[in-house]
Amino acid sequence: MSERIEALAQKVDAQLQARVRRLPSLARELAYECDADALLEVCRTLRDAPQLKFEMLMDLAGVDYLTYGRDDWQTSSATRTGFSRARVAHEERPDVNEARRFGVVYNFLSVTHNQRVRLAVRCADTAEPVLDSVVGVWAGANWFEREAFDLFGILFRGHPDLRRILTDYGFIGHAFRKDFPLIGNVEVQYDAEQRRVVYQPVSITPRVLVPKVIRHDNRYEAALRDPEVPR
């Protein structure tokens, strides 16, 4: 941990005290988490405290923790075809992170002090994930929150215009959720008789994507190359 980051951490701790909790992060990064009901108070303090002055919300991103901490694939070794095998089929395992499944991560920038900090917040209810909108604190959060709503289904209480921003008007579901089918729920095509685009059940055959393991090949070791052989 650098002295600069540690000095910033002391300022954050002094201003927010027990309202935030430190999260593990890289040596040059600073991350915290807070409870959903303290979000607006924490955000206003981060923006307004003279020692902090995080005037800019750089971005916010929805997070689905459904499979967090789950090791799906064994990739330390590979078969002769170069493909690994799943430890246990996904559909055979229960969901281990149903409680507080969804969250939002905020990235802030202080132009005044040239500092950055990250804040993570979990939604208390998985069935209907809701957080307070920070549009009243940073107006630029408007489209970011709409994106998180569109792709993760996270609702933002107090948002002035919470509607989809990336997917189509008739899109079903939220595409970035971990349990959203890779093939989607519906597909669209142009109907010549009706002279318009119509929705219909998806006709693509589902398949499981298996990550490929690239293995080391000693034929390309630099020490084995002949410098006199043209390449």
Q: Is residue 219 situated within a structural domain? A: no
pLDDT per position as a tens digit, 71-85: 555 555 545 455 454
CATH number at residue 148: 3.30.460.80
Residues 88-118: b if buried by 16+ CB within 10 A, e if exposed: eeeeeeeeeeeeebbbbbbbbbbeebebbbb
Q: Of 129, 79, 137, which Cα lies nearest the Cα of 106? A: 137
Q: Is residue 230 situated within a structural domain? A: no
Q: Is residue 202 situated within a structural domain? A: no
Q: What is the mean pLDDT of residues 60-70?
A: 89
Q: Is residue 33 situated within a structural domain? A: yes
> Which amino acid would we find at residue 185?
N
Is the distance from CB of 42 to CB of 19 less than 8 angstroms?
yes
For residues 114 and 111, give the distance between their C-alpha atoms in angstroms, rounded to a whole number. Answer: 5
Is the distance from CB of 38 to CB of 17 less than 8 angstroms?
no
191's CB contacts (< 8 A; 6+ apart) are 197, 198
Q: Which residue has the higher pLDDT, 15 or 172?
A: 15
What does the block give as tokens for 56?
A: 């800019």
pLDDT band at 96 (very low <50, low <70, confident <90, very high): very low
pLDDT band at 89 (very low <50, low <70, confident <90, very high): very low
123: containing domain: 3-65+100-166
pLDDT per position as a tens digit, 5-31: 999 999 999 999 889 999 999 888 999
Q: Is residue 21 situated within a structural domain? A: yes
Question: What total of structural domains would you count in the chain?
Answer: 1
For 42, half-sphere exposure in the C-beta direction (CA atoms, 13 angstrom radius) is 25
Q: Is residue 26 situated within a structural domain? A: yes
pLDDT of residue 207: 67
Q: Is residue 144 situated within a structural domain? A: yes
Q: Is residue 70 situated within a structural domain? A: no
pLDDT per position as a tens digit, 105-143: 999 999 999 999 999 999 999 999 999 999 999 999 999
